[in-house]
Chains A and B, each alone.
Chain A
Amino acid sequence: MSGLYTMIPNPPQPFPDWTGFALSAVLWIAVTFAAYLIAQRLYRRFGGNPVLVPVATTALMVMLVLWLSGTPYVNYAAATKPLNWWVGPSTVAIAIPLFTQLDRLKRIWKPLVIALLVGSIVAILSAIGIAWALGGSWQTLASLMPKSATMPIAIPMAERFGGLPALAAVAVVITGVVGTVISHPLLSLLKVTDPAARGFAIGLTAHAIGMARELQVNPVSGSFAALAMGLNGILTALLIPILMLALQ
């Protein structure tokens, strides 16, 4: 605890630890919920302007509350674990939109496999290429490598090859938010109108954050985003060790 709390000489501790924890869990989940509701309303009010993608505005509001109240992130993370845990079962739920697209997948699996291979390689090489050209250290390069993969895959991959887990998490989040924000204007500029191609590219680039937005926008692009996120996660985990062998 920091901030105001540390100014009290002997802070009162009226609750046994578990009650205190339960209270803080309820409090911080409620704060996150409230921020999310405001973020959703803002997003709709401004006609779905991508700069206001709700995950970013929600996080910013929560950061502000944490900063103002002097609450360390570790406390917030522990308290919101029950909320974060549902990312798992929600990822499993992607099976439903995927199942409804299976007939289509069978017809176009070849283009999808080619786009996946090219996209996955471009994602890894573009990140380390640019960072290397600008004089980034190996730690930065390794942390950036898996940035288009979903977080539970990207963090251990970065760590295994000399990156920092925290830096890798930042790289994943930046890629997810930036990819989501620029995706619709960029793809319209490039005249990519097919929802399958749009969704697949967004899921491959911007993993769960891009997918979450696509699922709100269009069921077809949403399920292709989900498919691309899953496949790119697996392929990134396979490609990085191969690339490392090739570099040695």
Chain B
Amino acid sequence: MPLLFIALSLAVLVIFQIAGDFLVRALGLPVPGSLVGLVGLTLALLVLGRVPAALGKVSGGLLRNMMLMLAPAVVGLIDNFGRVRDEWLPFLLAGVAGAVITLAVTAVILQHLLRKSGAVSTDTAVEGKA
């Protein structure tokens, strides 16, 4: 894939990000700018009717490596061990058990509703694959 198309695809993503940030600030919306940019790009793709090949490849590459970009924020835990220490038990249990309950309730309800409406996709089931 020519370098130019890669650069153009990155530019498209950056432009939607900046436009999203601008709208959020101008309208005082309670959501991050990238979320507005996401909606904007989805609408633009709807108008276009297809995903340009280069944009698809570049986006796939970014999304598969998002954990790399998130890592610096997670490293921030290093400064907060002390604050968590004071109330570590309620904090940790609420975090862990809250995640388990939320995950279980949401998944079971959604699968039940999808089965009822006959919309379950069996072709791409990913049981237990990590």
User: CB within 8 Å of B: which residues of A?
Assistant: 32-33, 35-36, 47-50, 53-56, 58-59, 62-63, 66-67, 73, 76-77, 80-81, 83-84, 86-100, 102, 104, 107-108, 110-112, 114-115, 118-119, 122-123, 126-128, 130-132, 134-137, 140, 144, 147-148, 150-153, 156, 164, 166-167, 169-171, 173-175, 177-179, 182-188, 190, 192-198, 200-202, 204-206, 208-209, 211-213, 215-218, 220-222, 228, 230, 233-234, 237-238
With A130-B93, A169-B73 known, 20 other A-B pairs at CB within 8 A are: A77-B76, A91-B32, A95-B40, A95-B44, A96-B59, A98-B42, A99-B42, A99-B45, A108-B114, A118-B106, A122-B102, A144-B95, A171-B94, A171-B95, A185-B128, A200-B106, A200-B107, A201-B110, A228-B106, A238-B30
Given known contacts A48-B130, A86-B62, is B108 in contact with A76 (CB within 8 Å)? no
Question: Given known contacts A89-B14, A144-B91, is B102 in contact with A73 (CB within 8 Å)?
Answer: no
**A170 CA / B83 CA spacing, docked (Å):** 10
Leading 6 A-B pairs by shortest Cβ distance: A119-B106, A111-B113, A201-B107, A136-B90, A48-B130, A95-B41
Contact with A along B1-45 (1 / 0, CB 8 A): 000000000100110110011000000001111110111111011
Contact A73–B41 (Cβ < 8 Å): no
Among A83, A194, A200, point to the contact of B121 (Cβ < 8 A). Answer: A194
Q: A126 and B97: CB pair below 8 A?
A: yes
Asked if A76 meets B98 with Cβ closer than 8 Å, knowing A83-B69, A184-B128, the reply is no
Which residues of chain B (86-110) have a CB below 8 Å from chain A?
87, 89-110
A155 to B67 CA separation, bound complex (whole angstroms): 19
Enumerate B47-93 residues with CB–CB distance to A below 8 Å.
Answer: 51, 55-56, 58-60, 62-80, 83-84, 87, 89-93
Contact B30–A237 (Cβ < 8 Å): yes
* B interface: dominant SS: helix
Of A111, A193, A216, which one neighbours B117 at CB under 8 angstroms? A111
Contact of A221 among B21, B106, B111, B126 (CB under 8 A): B126
Neighbouring B residues of A118 by C-beta, 8 Å = 105-106, 109
B130/A184 in contact, CB under 8 A: yes
Report the bound CA distance from A175 to B96 in whole Å: 6
Q: Write the chain A residue with the least CB distance to B64.
A: A216
With A87-B34, A212-B67 already in contact, the answer to whether A123 and B107 are too (CB < 8 A) is no
Knowing A84-B72, A84-B73, A122-B101, the reply to whether A200 touches B91 (Cβ < 8 A) is no
Residue of A92, A156, A228 with most partner-chain B CB within 10 A: A92
* A208 with B103: CB separation less than 8 A: no
Query: Can you name 16 A-B residue pairings with CB atoms under 8 Å?
Result: A32-B68, A36-B68, A50-B130, A59-B71, A76-B75, A88-B21, A89-B13, A91-B35, A96-B59, A114-B109, A114-B113, A131-B91, A144-B94, A171-B91, A174-B99, A193-B127
CB pair A73 B63 closer than 8 Å: no
B18 to A: closest C-beta gap in Å: 9
Q: Which of B38, B120, B124 has the most CB of A within 10 A?
A: B38
**CA gap between A183 and B106 in the complex, in Å:** 12
A95 CA / B116 CA spacing, docked (Å): 28
Determine if A100 and B51 form an interchain contact, defined as CB atoms under 8 angstroms apart.
yes
Bound Cα distance A211, B34 (Å): 15
Complex partner residue of A130 from B97, B106, B114, CB under 8 angstroms: B97
